[in-house]
Structure 1
């Protein structure tokens, strides 16, 4: 089963790219962290990312979505992104995150080629995305270092027109 990861800093355009790939007929899997944040905020926890348990909530939803995914698809982030997030937030990787990383490595869950969606030069704040552009740049570097350390090969997708970015992704897959 072919599972490609789209990763990058907050606000880099991953979700828009995912939407376009979906419109073109490709199966996609939504980012878990944004949905965890939305639910936690609806439950009255305004900044759930300040609690180390936040990482395990993301991991659980990522695993649920990954297991439910059928056939070849594109994932908006992966547990490796969650590892990078834990590092960025200053949290030790939880036993749940470590176990998930061990599982996906042993099962070869994701393709080793990962699409790194480069930042657009700005960040638009949302209820879930409260990161400054400067912090997003630091987080981008943590992602790069984490994925490389974990043995993934990054295919950099530079800023540009959305359709051109989608074409660059598809040129590096058998889906062209």
Structure 2
């Protein structure tokens, strides 16, 4: 039987990591976003911005990492397992940036499913850019649409999390889990 994997997704700067940390502090099992880790590993190898310099390689590394997380979730003893971004996020970003990719990306989405998806809407008041997040807020709005469409394309019905304090948003997710 597959473990109950819950994806928390949304465009850049929507509060995903803060919610994941809150859920974790409440004793929930959580897996964190890996894109910053992929970026930092590439920087150690001398590639300043892997996403900008080699977007397909960046996406391949993200895909590998998210598939690993999927299997890691299967080893967890506490359910549900909350995951900061899922495999379809990789495709949504590649579609947004018009990056060509092979069928291995769509096949990974079809092979590795999630129980439920929560999407955080763009929120200008909390949006901040930094060294790893270089999208403008307008780009974040567009990426959010791509994420929503991509998850729907793979058969999910993303539940939009209302804006509000982190704890309220985390509790909304906990109170709206499917059986």
TM-score between both structures, scaled by the size of structure 2: 0.88
2:136 corresponding residue in structure 1: 132
- After TM superposition, the structure 1 = structure 2 runs for residues 56-67 of structure 1, keeping only pairs within 5 Å, are 56-67=60-71
**What aligned pairs does 1:157-172 form with structure 2 within 5 A after superposition?**
157-172=161-176
Deviation at 1:23, TM superposition (A): 0.3
Residues 73-128 of structure 1 show CA distances to partners (whole Å, capped at 9, x for unaligned) of 00000111111011112112334323312311xxxx311x3101112215211221
1:119-172 deviation digits (Å, cap 9, x = unpaired): 221521122101111111111111111111221011101221111101100011
Q: Distance in 2 between matches of 1:27 and 1:174?
A: 17
Residue 156 (structure 1) aligned with residue 165 (structure 2): no
Residue in 2 aligned with 1:94?
102
TM-score normalised by length of structure 1? 0.90
Partner of 1:47: 49
Name the structure 1 match of 2:40.
Answer: 38
Q: CA deviation at 1:174?
A: 6.4
**Deviation sequence 1:41-98 (CA, Å, 0-9, x none):** 2322122113211111001111112212214200000111111011112112334323
- Work out the number of aligned pairs and report it: 170
**Structure 1: gaps of 5 or more residues:** none
- Stretches of structure 2 lacking an aligned partner (at least 5 in a row): none
Measured on the aligned residues, the alpha-carbon RMSD in Å equals 1.6
Look up the match of 2:18: 16
